[in-house]
Amino acid sequence: MTQRTFEISHEPAPLFRLVVEVGEKHIALITQNEENIPGKNFEYFNFTEEENFEKVLKEIKEQSFLFNKEYQQVKIVWSNAFAQCVPTAVSSEEIINAVHQSLENGLGETRTFVDRNDTITLPYLANKAQYNTLQIYFPKATYTHKYLEIINRFVHFSSSEKLDVLAIFYQGYFIICVKQNKELQFINALEFSSGTDVVYHILNAAKQLNIDITSTRVILSGLIDGDSSLFKEIYKYIPIIDVDTAGNAPFLNSEFSEYPSHYFVPFFKYV
C-alpha cells in the first residue's frame, strides 16, 4: 500500500515545472517556477519494492494535490545505485556501453540513460516498466539521475574547496559523495540497517581515498534525526559533522517548521 509520509502546502504551487524523484521505495514531488525556485509545497510517498509500480502511481494520483496539476515541464530524477561516473574527456560510446553492461542489474528489464556535464558523464540504468508507466502520465518528461544533480550542486558549484563528505539519508540507504577542490572523488548509494553500517561505509570510503576522517567535515541531510541512534553512532566515530542547508529554499526553517529542515534539503537543493 502506498503511504503519503509528508504532505506540505503553504501557497499555490508554481505550475512551471513538476519534479518527480523516483527511488526504489519512494516518490517525492516538488514544484519549481521559471527561475528554478521551488514552491512551498512537498509530497513524499513510500511504497515497497514488491508493489506494482503502475498501481503505485495510480494510488499517488488519487492522493496527491501536486501530481494532478498541469505543468509546462516535468523532470524525473532517478535515485538508484545503478550508475557510474566516467570522465567526460574519455566517455566514448564504447566505454558508455561497457559501463551499462557492467552495472549490477537488480532491476529486471532496464532502459539505459546517459547524463553528462563538462567533466562527468554518467551512464545509468532504470527499470523499463517504471519508465513506461511514467511515460503514460508524463509523456514529455525529461530524465536525469540524482548523482548528477548532487555533483552539479555539491561538487562543482560549491564555494568551498575543502575536502567534504556529503551523506544524504533515505529509508534504508544513503548516498555518499566526496569532493575536494571542486572535483568529484567518489559517489555511491549504499544500503544500511544500522548506524554501524553507515560508519563502516564512510570509514571505508575514507580509507580508499586516503582521507583522515578525524579532520574531515561530514555533511548530513535527509531522513535522519539528531537524537536518533543512527546519528549518535555516526558522531561517535566522525567528530566534524554539519547539517546541510538549502539556500534556494530559505523557507524550510519557517514554513516547514513542524519538521527538521534538513529532512527536505535533498529534494529542494539536489534536483
What pLDDT is recorded for position 137? 97
Q: What are phi and psi of 178, to 5 degrees?
A: -120, 130
What pLDDT is recorded for position 127? 95
Task: Give 164-182 pLDDT, tens digit per residue.
Answer: 999 999 999 999 999 988 8
Say yes or no: 241 and 162 in one domain.
yes
- Residue 36's alpha-carbon distances to 8, 33, 134, 268, in angstroms, are 19, 5, 22, 10
Say yes or no: 162 and 240 in one domain.
yes
Answer yes or no: is pLDDT of 15 > 80: yes
Lowest mean pLDDT among 98-107, 172-181, 260-269: 98-107
Say yes or no: 137 and 174 in one domain.
no
What pLDDT is recorded for position 158? 66
Say yes or no: 190 and 171 in one domain.
yes
Q: Domain range holding 163?
A: 158-246
Residue bearing cell 559501463: 99
> Are the CB atoms for 38 and 30 separated by under 8 Å?
yes
Lowest mean pLDDT among 102-106, 192-196, 201-205: 102-106
Say yes or no: 178 and 229 in one domain.
yes
What pLDDT is recorded for position 105? 73
pTM, 2 dp: 0.95
- 263 occurs within a structural domain: no
> Are the CB atoms for 21 and 27 separated by under 8 Å?
yes
Domain boundary among the residues 131, 149, 167 is at 149
Say yes or no: 168 and 130 in one domain.
no
Domain boundary among the residues 23, 42, 71 is at 71
- 196 occurs within a structural domain: yes
- 266 occurs within a structural domain: no
Number of domains present in the structure of the chain: 3
What pLDDT is recorded for position 163? 85
pLDDT-based confidence at 139, cuts 50/70/90? very high
Domain boundary among the residues 149, 173, 194 is at 149
Say yes or no: 89 and 112 in one domain.
yes
pLDDT-based confidence at 132, cuts 50/70/90? very high
Say yes or no: 145 and 216 in one domain.
no
Q: What is the CATH number of the domain that holds 233?
A: 3.30.420.260
Residue bearing cell 535527509: 222
Mean pLDDT across the stretch 95-103?
A: 95
What pLDDT is recorded for position 6? 95
Lowest mean pLDDT among 41-50, 116-125, 158-167, 220-229: 158-167
Lowest mean pLDDT among 35-39, 75-79, 159-163, 175-179: 159-163
Say yes or no: 137 and 169 in one domain.
no
Distance CA 14, CA 57 (A): 21
- 136 occurs within a structural domain: yes
Residue 140, exposed/middle/buried by CB under 10 A (0-12, 13-18, 19+)?
exposed
pLDDT-based confidence at 162, cuts 50/70/90? confident
- 264 occurs within a structural domain: no
- 265 occurs within a structural domain: no
pLDDT-based confidence at 241, cuts 50/70/90? very high
Say yes or no: 138 and 164 in one domain.
no
Say yes or no: 176 and 138 in one domain.
no
Mean pLDDT across the stretch 106-112?
A: 88
| Percent of residues, the chain, with pLDDT higher than 70 | 99
- 53 occurs within a structural domain: yes
- 36 occurs within a structural domain: yes
Distance CA 41, CA 29 (A): 8
Say yes or no: 141 and 186 in one domain.
no
Higher confidence at residue 255 or residue 93? 93
